[in-house]
Each structure stands twice: as structure tokens, then as C-alpha cells.
């Protein structure tokens, strides 16, 4: 893919509006080309883009990441998790999609969308690094979501967050966020039929795709699932070597912490909250243990 012809002129200005203009051109190209491309090749391309932006995979490995996929409740689960950990005094990053009003909402620090100034700064840093190496890579440039993912990684590394909560875009196995090789903990929210043309026509096929974010030795949690997809998750976790636990119902926490109430209504939010509690608790426990042992990542 090649950026639109006006890009070079826009790059010289390096304004916020210029950044939005170039980003929108990536979105237009995504709508036309991305659905036709092999997802395996897209993930491979994402790994190449990562290097071109100056982020070696080893550097990304050092980031404290909580990686979350699923069909329903990804955003709520990530928001709950980020809020819990931020309330412990940690400097948090949060990457999510889609945005409601402005694209800056997708990349948050300490719960707030990054400022116009930071967005402009890091957008052009990322874009220029990609442009500089474009001729060596057959003029290939990332699609919209790929670019924002690369930019989010760059922001979180440069802003030195203590941890980053990363929400998967589509699926898991071939999602561009799956360049993450060493998350601290993974979460899988409620599964359903979504993006069937890309992920499969059955719950079991979709569960297989979602399980693609699991990594060897990395703990994972999921909410209650239907028996079929749960078996797929458990089988994949065993094959990968990722210990997988099913979260308890939120009511089961009451014996320890008393009655639990949420700001969001609905039984599904109670599932999301339970998953968030498990993800944040696991991260806090392992972070403290690893740090005391001198092996923390940051």
C-alpha cells in the first residue's frame, strides 16, 4: 500500500490536522484493501512495521502488557482493569477501539486520551520512521488500525507507563496486536459469533482464533463460556502451555470484600468486572513477586 499523493506536502507541516488527514487516508485504503489480504501476511507485515518504527520485539517484550480479547465486553473489561490498576498509583496506558468522538480516545494515559500535542508529536515520529524505510519495503505502509497500534506502542514506551492494557481489534491469532510476545497476563471475555467471514462460522472456530493471543507460560483468565468454545480454549491453552482459569461469579467475592456494586448495569458487566479483578490481581501479585526477585520488566 502507498500513501496518497498529498502526504509528502502534509508531512512538511506536521500539524495535528495534517496528522488527521494522513490517518484518514490510511482508513480509506483499509476499507478497500485490508479485507482482501491474507491475515497471516498482515501479521507478518505488522512485525516488519514494528521494526521500521524503531521498536524491536525485544523492546516490546519489556513492556508490562495485559492483553484482552473476546467478542463482548472487551472494552468494559479493559476499562475496569485499567481503573483498578491506576487506583493503585500506577501510570497506565490503555489502547482500545473504536473511538466514540475522537481518535485520541484510542490511546490513553492514566485514563485520559492523549493530548492533541502528544498525538501530533508521536504521530509524526511514527509516520516519519515508516516513510524513511518505505522504499526498502516496496512502498508498503500500514493500514489504519495497524498504524494506530504501532503508534500506541511507541507512545507507551516513550511515556514510560508502568503497564499497558491492550484490547484486541478483531479475533486474536492474526490481529495486529498479536505481535505482543510476552504479555504478563491475558484475558478472554464472553464469546459469540462475530466477524464470521474472518474468524469462522461456529463458536468453536471463533474460540480458536481468540485463543491465539495465549502465550507459553503466561497465565490467562476467561469468563463462563458455553461448553463447546470453552473446551477449545482449554485445549489450546494446554497445547500452548498457558495456564487458564475460569473467573468466579462476582457474588463469590462478597465473602472477602463485602457487597460488590458497579457503575454499569447488566449481568454481562458483572462477568467483565470479575475478569478485570482477576487480571489486575494477577498482575499486581506477579509484579510484586518478580520485582522482589529482581526480574521485573519495569
Which pLDDT tens digit goes with each residue over 132-144? Answer: 877 666 668 899 9
Confidence of residue 287 (pLDDT cuts 50, 70, 90): confident
Mean pLDDT along residues 216-238: 97
Grid cell in block for residue 154: 511507541
pLDDT of residue 4: 44
Relative to beta strand 112-113, strand 107-109 is: antiparallel
Whether 216 and 239 have beta carbons less than 8 Å apart is answered as: no
The values of phi and psi at residue 108, to 5°, are -120, 150
pLDDT of residue 120: 97
Domains and CATH numbers, the chain: 7-292 (3.40.1190.10)
Percentage of the chain modeled with pLDDT above 90: 65
pLDDT single digits (tens) 11-58: 557 899 999 999 988 876 554 445 556 788 889 889 999 999 999 888
Mean pLDDT along residues 68-97: 95
In whole angstroms, what is the distance from residue 127 CA to residue 52 CA?
10
pLDDT of residue 11: 55
Confidence of residue 295 (pLDDT cuts 50, 70, 90): very low
pLDDT of residue 293: 46
pLDDT of residue 132: 84
pLDDT of residue 126: 96
- Which of these, 133, 155, 164, 171, lies nearest to 43 by C-alpha position? 171
pLDDT single digits (tens) 163-205: 999 999 988 999 999 999 999 999 999 998 877 767 778 999 9
DSSP bridge partners of 94: 108, 165
| Degrees to nearest 5, angle at CA 140 with 136 and 141 | 120
Mean pLDDT along residues 215-233: 97
pLDDT of residue 194: 75
Mean pLDDT along residues 245-257: 77
The values of phi and psi at residue 164, to 5°, are -130, 130
Mean pLDDT for the chain overall: 86
Tally the C-alpha atoms within 13 A of residue 1's C-alpha that lie toward its C-beta: 24
Which are the contacts of 200, defined by CB distance < 8 A and separation ≥ 6? Answer: 206, 208, 209
pLDDT of residue 79: 95
Other CB atoms within a 10 A radius of the CB of residue 130 amount to 20
pLDDT single digits (tens) 100-159: 899 999 999 999 999 999 999 999 999 999 988 776 666 688 999 999 999 999 999 999
DSSP bridge partners of 66: 165, 185
Amino acid at each position: 500500500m502507498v500513501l496518497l499523493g498529498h502526504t509528502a506536502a502534509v508531512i512538511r507541516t506536521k500539524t495535528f490536522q495534517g496528522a488527521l488527514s494522513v490517518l484518514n487516508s490510511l482508513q480509506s485504503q483499509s476499507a478497500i484493501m485490508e479485507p482482501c489480504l491474507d491475515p497471516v501476511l498482515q501479521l507478518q507485515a505488522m512485525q516488519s512495521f514494528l521494526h521500521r518504527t524503531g521498536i524491536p520485539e525485544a523492546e516490546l517484550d519489556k513492556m508490562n502488557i495485559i492483553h484482552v480479547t473476546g467478542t463482548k465486553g472487551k472494552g468494559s473489561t479493559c476499562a475496569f482493569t485499567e481503573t483498578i490498576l491506576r487506583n493503585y498509583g500506577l501510570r497506565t496506558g490503555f489502547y482500545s477501539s473504536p473511538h466514540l468522538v475522537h481518535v485520541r480516545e484510542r490511546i490513553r494515559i492514566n485514563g485520559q486520551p492523549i493530548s492533541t500535542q502528544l498525538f501530533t508529536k508521536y504521530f509524526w515520529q511514527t509516520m516519519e520512521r515508516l516513510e524513511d524505510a518505505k522504499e526498502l519495503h516496496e512502498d508498503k505502509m500500514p493500514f489504519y488500525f495497524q498504524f494506530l497500534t504501532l503508534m500506541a506502542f511507541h507512545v507507551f514506551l516513550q511515556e514510560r507507563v508502568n503497564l499497558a492494557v491492550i484490547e484486541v481489534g478483531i479475533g486474536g491469532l492474526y490481529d495486529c496486536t498479536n505481535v505482543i510476545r510476552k504479555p504478563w497476563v491475558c484475558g478472554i471475555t464472553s464469546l459469540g459469533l462475530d466477524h464470521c467471514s474472518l474468524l469462522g462460522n461456529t463458536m468453536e472456530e471463533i474460540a480458536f482464533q481468540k485463543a491465539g493471543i495465549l502465550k507459553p507460560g503466561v497465565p490467562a483468565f476467561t469468563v463462563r463460556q458455553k461448553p463447546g468454545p470453552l473446551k477449545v480454549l482449554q485445549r489450546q491453552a494446554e497445547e500452548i502451555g498457558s495456564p487458564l482459569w475460569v473467573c468466579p461469579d462476582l457474588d463469590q467475592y462478597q465473602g472477602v470484600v463485602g457487597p460488590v456494586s458497579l457503575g454499569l448495569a447488566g449481568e454481562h458487566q458483572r462477568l467483565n468486572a470479575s475478569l478485570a479483578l482477576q487480571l489486575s490481581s494477577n498482575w499486581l501479585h506477579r509484579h510484586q513477586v518478580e520485582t522482589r526477585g529482581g526480574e521485573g520488566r519495569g
